[in-house]
Amino acid sequence: MRKSFTRQVLSVMLVTLMLTLTALAGTTGTIEADSLRLRKKPSLKSRVIDLVPNGETVLVTGRTPTVNKDGSWHKVTYKNKNGYMSADYLSLSGESSEGGIIQANVRTRLNLRTKPSTDASIVTVLPKGKSVEVVNEKKGGWSEVKSSKLSGYVKSEFLVLPNDSSNTQKKPLPATGKYGIVSASRVNLRAKASTGSRILEVLSINTVVDIEKITEKGWYSVSVNGTDGFIHPDYLTATDEKPKAPEKKREKASATAEAIIETASKKLGAPYVYGSGGPNSFDCSGFTSWVFRQHGISLPRNSGSQYRLSGKSVKKPDLKTGDLVFFKNTSKGVINHVGIYLGGNKFIHAGSGSNGGRKVKISSLSEGSYTARYVGAKRVV
């Protein structure tokens, strides 16, 4: 009797297993892996806050990742948004000058691996849009798949299945209007309707733009100051009535700050020489320390120390003439450049780049390179 009952149980289990495999076999998934999801919580079911393009830099705000059934997660900050990202796709790049904050680069080329583990060897790299057959789903956020004659495991988060609700339900289009008001302090005007597209300008809060249309992806196609581009709907408020741009209060620079700018301007055209601290040639921190020293103010010799040890921090919209502005190295993420703010989004500095020559020159904070590398500002006077 017991043997007969056992045989029945085994038969039911076998049939169930066969039905499960039959249901999975033939199911297709599409690779979606040129960006990494920033989620509200460390869970694959948590709301997606933003999509971070491959190669972008984020700040990891904790050294110890959160580990759960959905994998390993780092708590990060990206564009002033706090959330969680899969630790499997972040390359940590050391400690920054912010103290305890680590920078990381997003890498989202999707690897097909021999086992459901990031330590397993890579069979091949699957491009975005590649169709694969989903054979089975594993714990820890992995799926067993087949692609052409190859088989292996991929992270389930980057598969879009035909019956996936995120694939079938379209996000409602944003509100329409003739004009738009920028609703955040630093908003990117991009060349295309994508977070990975080239940044044309960085717009400040309350900037008024003309709305041309809304794209299929839900982005606003806009025109501002003669430049056409695209703005993400989360950062723009649409209206049919043209708003009046608020007048910005301009604080008058102190007499010391004006004198510092005058001294700095007298060195325009002086050659850039690495390691030189004046008075006839300069590197970036040599220039700022020499200028301020002429007015009885002592600054550390290198840009990183000036950022850590000098003055008080200033937000970009609050910049005043005479403030020190700092920039980072895009590959290593460390502060490696400094200049003196002039007002009107301009700054004077000893630049080593080809744009404008290797000399003391005036540049704009809106230039692509400086916009991407901008770290912050310090007020000394």
295 is a catalytic site residue: no
Calpha distance 75→73 (Å, rounded): 7
Residues 3-26: b if buried by 16+ CB within 10 A, e if exposed: eeeeeeeeeeeeeeeeeeeeeeee
Q: How far, rounded to the nearest angstrom, does the alpha carbon of residue 152 sit from its chain's CA centroid?
A: 31
CA dist 146 and 181 (Å) reads: 48
Q: Is the dihedral of CA 364, 369, 371, 373 positive or negative?
A: negative
The Cα–Cα gap between 362 and 115 comes to: 55
Residue 232: active-site member: no
Q: Among 80, 105, 107, 78, which Cα is nearest to 93's?
A: 105
Spatial separation of the C-alpha atoms in residues 21 and 135, rounded to whole Å:
7
Query: Choosing from 74, 232, 295, 337, which is the catalytic residue?
Result: 337
Calpha distance 161→364 (Å, rounded): 46
Would you state the structure tokens that stand for residue 346, as one six-digit string? 């301009």
349 catalytic, yes or no? yes
Catalytic hit among 74, 232, 295, 349:
349
> For residues 355 and 80, what is the distance between their CA atoms, to the nearest angstrom?
30
> Catalytic residue among 74, 232, 284, 295, which?
284
Q: Which positions are annotated as active-site residues?
A: 284, 337, 349
